[in-house]
Structure 1
Amino acid sequence: MQITITKEEENKFLERKEITGNLLYQGTTPSKIILTEEIAKRYNAEKNNVVIKNIKTKYGLQEGTISAVVYSNEKAKKRSEPITKHQKGGATKKEEGEKK
């Protein structure tokens, strides 16, 4: 897997770096976890402070584009990023059905 950064912007107000890049890979599309680890290594950041916004692959080719955000600290991330259901620890659909 090879990541080439095409655009990097420093957003001082939100305390983060906004990154766009090209992705070359073999086999299946890399998961967000693998990409998070790779970007964290490159920017000397903690894995928890890296958020992959999207991965867009090109049909029939093993390449695509990614956009990610690297926060300077956990507090800045909590201010800007929305909290999803699985991060809240909310009930799953199966558990909700059992309660009724």
Structure 2
Amino acid sequence: MEFEITSDTRNELLGRRELRFILTYDGATPSRKEIRGKLCALNNINENLVVLDSLRTGYGRMQLDGFMRIYDTEEGRQRTERSYLLNRGEPKKEEEEA
């Protein structure tokens, strides 16, 4: 996987950085968890502060365009982001039958 960051802007009002990137990959499309982990490792940031908003692939292309937000605090992330985006890409919790 190779990342190319096309845009990196700072949103002071919401306390976050907004990144647009292009990911080039071989084989199957990587999962959201793999992409988030790799981007966090490259930028040396905590995964709890990151939200992957959109990932768009094209037919026959081995690359995708993505949009990611990096918050200053986890509280700001919880306050600002929609709940389905916070849960997207996380493993589903199994319901316990009692």
User: Which string of whole-angstrom CA distances, capped at 9 and with x for unpartnered residues, describes residues 19-68 of structure 1?
Assistant: 00111001111111011111211222111111111111121111121111
C-alpha RMSD over aligned residues:
1.7
Q: How does 1:1-100 map to 2 (within 5 A)?
A: 1-84=1-84, 87=87
**Equivalent position amino acid for 1:30 in 2:** P
Preserved CA contact (<8 Å) 1:39 1:50: no
Distance 2:35 2:64 in 1: 13
Question: Could you list the runs of 5+ residues in structure 1 that have no partner in the other structure?
Answer: 88-94, 96-100
Q: Secondary structure of 1:42's partner? A: helix
Q: Which has the higher helix share?
A: 1
User: Which string of whole-angstrom CA distances, capped at 9 and with x for unpartnered residues, describes residues 55-87 of structure 1?
Assistant: 111211111211111111101101111123x95
Shift of residue 18, structure 1, vs aligned partner: 0.4
Preserved CA contact (<8 Å) 1:2 1:23: yes
**TM-score in terms of structure 1 length:** 0.80
Displaced runs of 4 or more, over 4 A: none
**Equivalent position amino acid for 2:4 in 1:** T
**What percent identity do the matched residue pairs reach?**
29
How many residues matched? Answer: 87
Distance 1:76 1:39 in 2: 20
